[in-house]
């Protein structure tokens, strides 16, 4: 509940994506992770999202050491404490909007009617209350990303992870989506967003720059360039 710790080191024969990254993210923070491609942003996000385990080092999520958990336990953590928003939306094409939003609840074992109620609520929250039975293919990119956000919120996550959420969107829809994130931040959500656009990162309070698997800079995202 309180805070998120991240002490991390990774070294391997092949590509070493992260070589000793130490970060600490407090609850309610809005963090942008930046850096050129290959700097380890995505790897960091995967680790934060418990999709992967660090090779060395440890990761404390709400005081719990996550790096020692097995696959099943990690799934459970992802299911209950983490919300994902992907660059390519990653909605399930065969499922309708409501059904997509329901997926995390499905794996929590929430009963059908309660699941449905919650997902309709969330669809309304992101402004898609009238397209419940549509399928992802029938929506625009911006709308799809809203669905993805609603899905990420379905489990009331501790931390919301976004991997270049505006990467596939034009600038006006990007602004809409970023406004949604701003709103979520105001409501007290913890958000970690990977991006390489300075304009996007400026919505965050804090910017972490990565380069070659190391933290290059960590500080508030001021109006201007961030230096050391």
Partner 1 sequence: MSWTFKILDILRLGFHSLGVHKVRSGLTALGVFIGVCGVISMLAINQGASAEAQRTIQALGSDNIIINSVKPPQRVQTGSSGGRGALCYGLTLADVECLREAMPGIVRSVIVHRTLKYAYYNGRNLPVVVIGTEPAYRYVVKMNLAGGRFISDADVLRHKPYCVLTLGLAERLFGFVDPVGKCIRIGGEPFVVVGVLTRLPQSLLAQTGQADNYAIIPITTERDRFGEYTVMWTKGSAVFERVEISQVIFQMADENAVIDGVAVARNVLPRTHAEMDYETVVPLELIEQKKKQMFLWNVMLVTIASVSLLVGGIGIMNIMLATVVERTREIGVRRALGAKRLDIVAQFLVESVVLTTIGGAVGIVLGISFPWLIERFLGFPTVISAWTLILPFLMAVLVGLVSGLYPAMRAAALSPIAALRHE
Which residues of this chain interact with partner 1, rule CB under 8 A? 46, 49, 51-52, 71-72, 75-76, 78-80, 84, 86, 90-95, 103-104, 106-109, 111-112, 151, 155
Judged by beta carbon, residue 79 or residue 145, the one nearer partner 1 is: 79
Q: How far is CA 119 from CA 16, 53, 98, 123, 190, in A?
A: 40, 30, 6, 6, 21
Number of C-beta neighbours around residue 224 at 10 A: 8
Q: What are the structure tokens assigned to 23, written together?
A: 């970060």
Report in angstroms how near the CB of residue 191 gets to partner 1 at its nearest: 17
Provide the sign of the torsion angle of the four alpha carbons 117, 122, 128, 129, taken in this order.
Answer: positive
Report in angstroms how near the CB of residue 64 gets to partner 1 at its nearest: 16
Report in angstroms how near the CB of residue 172 gets to partner 1 at its nearest: 27
Judged by beta carbon, residue 148 or residue 210, the one nearer partner 1 is: 148
Judged by beta carbon, residue 51 or residue 214, the one nearer partner 1 is: 51
Q: What are the structure tokens assigned to 89, written together?
A: 């939306």
Instruction: Give the H or E element holding residue 143.
Output: helix 141-153
Judged by beta carbon, residue 71 or residue 224, the one nearer partner 1 is: 71
Report in angstroms how near the CB of residue 58 gets to partner 1 at its nearest: 20
Spacing of C-alpha 72 from chain mean position: 20
Judged by beta carbon, residue 40 or residue 49, the one nearer partner 1 is: 49
156: left (phi over 0), alpha (psi -120 to 50) or beta: left
Report in angstroms how near the CB of residue 113 gets to partner 1 at its nearest: 11
What is d(CA 184, CA 126) in angstroms, rounded to the nearest whole number? 11
Report in angstroms how near the CB of residue 52 gets to partner 1 at its nearest: 6
Q: What are phi and psi of 3, to 5 degrees?
A: -145, 165
Judged by beta carbon, residue 78 or residue 146, the one nearer partner 1 is: 78
Name every residue whose Cβ is closer than 8 Å to that of residue 97 and which is 6 or more positions away in sequence.
123, 128, 131, 132, 133, 134, 135, 136, 139, 147
Judged by beta carbon, residue 41 or residue 203, the one nearer partner 1 is: 41
Name every residue whose Cβ is closer than 8 Å to that of residue 37 and which is 6 or more positions away in sequence.
196
Report in angstroms how near the CB of residue 209 gets to partner 1 at its nearest: 23
């Amino acid at each position: 509940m309180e805070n998120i710790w991240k002490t991390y080191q990774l070294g391997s024969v092949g590509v070493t994506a992260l070589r000793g990254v130490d970060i600490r993210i407090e609850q309610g923070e809005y963090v942008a992770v930046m850096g050129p491609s290959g700097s380890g942003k995505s790897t960091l996000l995967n680790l934060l999202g418990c999709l992967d385990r660090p090779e060395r080092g440890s990761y404390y999520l709400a005081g719990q050491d996550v790096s020692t958990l097995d696959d099943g336990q990690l799934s459970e953590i992802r299911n209950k404490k983490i919300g994902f928003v992907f660059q390519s939306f990653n909605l399930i094409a065969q499922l309708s909007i409501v059904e997509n939003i329901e997926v995390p609840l499905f794996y929590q074992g929430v009963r059908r009617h309660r699941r449905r109620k919650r997902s309709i609520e969330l669809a309304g929250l992101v402004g898609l209350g009238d397209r419940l039975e549509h399928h992802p293919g029938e929506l625009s990119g911006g709308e799809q990303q809203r669905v993805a956000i609603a899905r990420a919120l379905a489990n009331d996550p501790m931390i919301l992870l976004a991997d270049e959420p505006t990467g596939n969107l034009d600038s006006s829809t990007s602004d809409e989506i970023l406004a949604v994130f701003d709103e979520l931040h105001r409501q007290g959500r913890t958000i970690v967003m990977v991006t390489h656009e300075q304009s996007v990162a400026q919505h965050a309070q804090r910017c972490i720059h990565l380069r070659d698997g190391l933290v290059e800079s960590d500080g508030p995202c001021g109006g201007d360039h961030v230096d050391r």
